[in-house]
């Protein structure tokens, strides 16, 4: 119950912030709705906008209207794009989902594998070096790695394209090349995110695994004659994974946010690039809509991860359902 209340509280806080912040803008409150497109706004239209958004109404009323609009998925209207915000956000969001999803999957799976190896073979000489490399990579921001990859592999070597998410010039018509075009454009940004996330996951798994390695049940398993791989994955890793799962939701949120600068570096047309452009053009309705969707997505991810944790950990499952 308290968990649910907690999420509710955060939701209300974010919505209120999203509602209140545009009022901080100096000058005409209409700027927040219109951005800098008042070239085409005639005085009659201004009046109409004021009425439609109830800008002369009391704040509480405006907040209520705002909530109602959100419930019907009306995120506002972007005058720069001459389209509702929800329509503008749609396609880029799919690209970002592709990018984040692929990176998340790869970095989690590889990270678990690497973390397990690092923990189990901790006496080997190369382990310390790899841990060091992981530490370095984990502390660097994504866009630095991205810039390095862009400079090296796109500019100097020419192996990967510099912008976009798919081949605009289909070399040979057919869905195979369309797919491979997407993969080529996806490769470097995804690699950047993977390099940024993987070390963190690996170190986390390694840390929690080291705590578990000498646990009694491991000794018992060995005594029973189980193979090392089996012990590694079915017994040790599984227990060490619990802290990872709790953090999965958080990690997803970080990945989502980290994708913003990376998309800017690679001119990848996802939600992050859209946000960057919106910030440049001060398209406030779009900025608000994007950030709201992003934050809500992360919250949802967190909630899911927490729920998954409760399912996965048998110690918790037996307790009360909340």
User: Interaction with another protein in 67-106: which residues (CB under 8 A)?
Assistant: 80-83, 88, 91-92, 95
Contact stretch for another protein (CB under 8 A) within 65-73, 104-112, 215-223, 260-268: 260-268
What is the number of other CB atoms lying within 10 angstroms of the CB of residue 151? 12
Q: List, in order, residues 6 or more apart from 185 with CB less than 8 Å away.
A: 160, 161, 164, 165, 166, 167, 268
* 64 binds another protein, rule: CB under 8 A: no
265 is a site residue for another protein (CB under 8 A): yes
Nearer CB in complex with another protein: 71/172:
172
Q: Within positions 111 to 150, which residues make up the interface with another protein, using CB under 8 A? A: 118, 122, 127-128, 131-132, 135-136, 138-141, 143-144, 147-148, 150
Q: Least distance to another protein from the beta carbon of 112, Å?
A: 15
Nearest-approach distance from CB 260 to another protein, in angstroms? 7
Which residues is 83 bridged to in the sheet? 78
CA-CA distance, 275 to 75, in Å (whole number)?
15
Whole-Å CA distances, 189 to 78, 175, 266: 28, 22, 7
Piece of 30-38, 58-66, 68-76, 97-105 that binds another protein (CB under 8 A): 30-38
Query: Closest Cα partner for 209 from 313, 110, 316, 115?
Result: 115
Q: Is residue 158 within the footprint of another protein (CB under 8 A)?
A: yes
258 interacts with another protein by CB under 8 A: yes
Q: How far is the CB of 309 from another protein (least distance, A)?
A: 13
Q: Report the distance separating Cα 106 and Cα 65, nearest Å.
A: 42
284 forms part of the interface with another protein (CB under 8 A): yes
Which of 76, 111, 115, 181 touches another protein by CB under 8 A?
181
In angstroms, the CA 27 to CA 100 distance is: 38
Q: Quick check: 249 binds another protein (CB under 8 A)?
A: yes
Given candidates 50, 177, 233, 242, which one binds another protein under the rule CB under 8 A?
177
* Number of neighbours of residue 274 by Cβ within 10 angstroms: 25
| Helices assigned H by DSSP within 150-283 | 175-212, 216-223, 228-230, 238-266, 271-281
């Amino acid at each position: 119950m308290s968990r649910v209340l907690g999420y509710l509280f955060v939701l209300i806080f974010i919505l209120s912030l999203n509602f209140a912040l545009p009022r901080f803008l100096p000058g005409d409150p209409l700027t927040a709705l219109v951005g800098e497109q008042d070239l085409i706004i005639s005085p009659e239209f201004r009046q109409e906008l004021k009425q439609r958004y109830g800008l002369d109404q009391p704040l509480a009323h405006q907040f209520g209207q705002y909530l109602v609009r959100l419930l019907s998925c009306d995120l506002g209207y972007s005058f720069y794009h001459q389209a509702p915000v929800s329509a503008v956000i749609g396609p880029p969001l799919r690209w970002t989902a592709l990018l984040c999803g692929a990176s998340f999957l790869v970095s989690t799976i590889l990270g678990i594998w690497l973390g397990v190896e690092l923990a189990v073979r901790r006496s080997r000489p190369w382990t310390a070096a790899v841990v060091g490399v992981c530490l370095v990579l984990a502390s660097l921001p994504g866009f630095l790695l991205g810039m390095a990859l862009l400079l090296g592999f796109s500019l100097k070597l020419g192996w990967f394209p510099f912008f976009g998410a798919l081949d605009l010039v289909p070399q040979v018509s057919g869905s195979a090349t369309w797919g491979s075009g997407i993969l080529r454009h996806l490769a470097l940004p995804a690699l950047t995110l993977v390099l940024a996330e993987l070390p963190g996951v690996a170190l986390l798994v390694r840390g929690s695994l080291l705590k578990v390695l000498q646990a009694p049940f491991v000794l018992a398993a060995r005594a029973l004659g189980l193979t090392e791989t089996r012990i590694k994955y079915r017994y040790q890793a599984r227990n060490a994974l619990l802290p990872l799962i709790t953090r999965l939701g958080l990690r997803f949120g970080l990945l989502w946010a980290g994708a913003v600068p990376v998309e800017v570096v690679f001119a990848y047309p996802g939600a992050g690039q859209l946000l960057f452009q919106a910030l440049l053009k001060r398209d406030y309705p779009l900025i608000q809509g994007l950030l709201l969707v992003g934050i809500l997505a992360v919250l949802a991810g967190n909630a899911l991860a927490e729920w998954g944790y409760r399912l996965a950990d048998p110690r918790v499952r037996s307790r009360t359902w909340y």
